[in-house]
Amino acid sequence: MIKLSHPHGDKLDVLASRGRLRRLSLPNGVDLSSNDYLGLARSPELAARLIEALQRGVATGSGGSRLLRGHHEEHEELEAEAARFFGAQRMLYFGGGYSANLAILSTLPQAGDLILYDALVHASAYDGIRASRADALSIPHNDAHAFEATLKSWRQGGGKGCPWIVVESLYSMDGDVAPLADLAEIAERYGAFLVIDEAHATGVHGPNGRGLAATFEGREDVITLHTCGKALGAFGGLVGASRLMCDFLINRARPFIYATAPPPLQALAVREALALIQAEPQRRKALQDLAAFANNKIGERLGLPTSGTQIIPVLLGEDGKAVRVAEKLQAAGFDIRAIRPPTVPARTARLRITITLNVDQEIIERMVDQLARILEDER
């Protein structure tokens, strides 16, 4: 028998030697790492509504793709309600933000088009761009002038296709906000589409939690992605776009056509979450107050720059240091994880601290004190 060669083990050994080997670990300690910003994932209110739905027969599985028998009235009701809430012409519900980003960027830009993407966009956006037939260029993070200069140069060089500007509204690893107003103006001036991933802003920021792109939602040249598995405490992703673009996705997007549809029960969960965030604006206010408290404590106690949002990176640089500090915090009862390259740029390994309604000021204060002691020991 021929012995198979397995280079995979060698590659894992290399990752381990660099301090970058990933392992699964269960939640342990207080939540300072999840994206359950509004505390809805385990909320009794949402659970009660889902129990009632199960009792009246809402299905836990869809049974097929949306274009076969997997299309249920819960999907239609969610998409109609979400379009009304966010202000989109139409919305499509996908099984996750990853598949939604993959669908948008692998399907809508065409050969001869140009995709300009912020250097720090989600991995799912990168994968969608790689699968596209359009040319693509990375733009320095949050540099609206660079977007415009690149578009201008491309047009002057004979670029005839459609430009696409791809950004996040609130960046998942840095917690900073995109210059959306400037980018929307550039998109209009150059006849470009603006694709805005609202994953970490949906439910938290903007009027009624509609996101940071609420002002631009519904424009023909704007496409949004609202993730449902973060602040909404459920599952899936909602793409907001013109009716024409949604029809094109239904007909051409492989992640939509060939994937089993999201469970009807999850579509209902998202719709109920949208109702809850509208009925309980105090959740957003409480989160904003808690995030401000955490940013102030980290800035004052540690002397570090902060983001001003619910995502607070603590840059440590070295991979091993980030892992050690995270492990010490976990041992002290604070579930904070280390983020290392290639998820973030080289030499920017960090702690990613997220503030959710699953903690309070007293927990945050204890965590900051503990982090200060650990960082002092690391010097």
Average pLDDT of the chain is 95
Cα-based distances in Å from 102 to 124, 178, 253, 255, 346: 6, 21, 9, 7, 25
49: tokens are 């509504």
- Set 35, 62, 169, 295: catalytic member: 35
In the chain, % of residues over pLDDT 90: 92
Active site residue 200: yes
Cα-based distances in Å from 230 to 40, 147, 164, 180, 273: 9, 29, 26, 21, 11
Contacts of 310 (CB under 8 A, 6+ apart): 37, 175, 200, 204, 287, 290, 291, 354, 355, 356
Q: Is the pTM of this model over 0.85?
A: yes
- Set 72, 75, 205, 230: catalytic member: 230
Active site residue 122: yes
Q: Is the pLDDT of residue 4 over 80?
A: no
Q: Is the pLDDT of residue 3 over 70?
A: no
Give the confidence band of 39 by pLDDT, cuts at 50, 70, 90.
very high
Across residues 232-249, what is the average pLDDT?
98
Residue 181 exposed, middle or buried by CB count within 10 Å (0-12, 13-18, 19+): exposed
Maximum separation of any 2 CA atoms in the chain, in Å: 67
Active site residue 197: yes
Q: Is the pLDDT of residue 2 over 70?
A: no
- Set 72, 75, 122, 328: catalytic member: 122
Q: Is the pLDDT of residue 378 over 90?
A: no
- Set 142, 172, 242, 295: catalytic member: 172
Dist. CA 111–CA 119, nearest whole Å: 22
CA angle 329, 330, 334 (to 5 degrees): 75
Q: Is the pLDDT of residue 240 over 70?
A: yes
Domains of the chain (ranges; CATH) run 26-40+281-378 (3.90.1150.10), 58-279 (3.40.640.10)
- Set 168, 198, 221, 335: catalytic member: 168
Dist. CA 40–CA 279, nearest whole Å: 13
List own/partner pairs for 43-48 with CB under 8 A and 24 or more apart.
Answer: 43/233, 43/276, 45/276, 46/233, 46/234, 46/269, 46/272, 46/273, 46/276
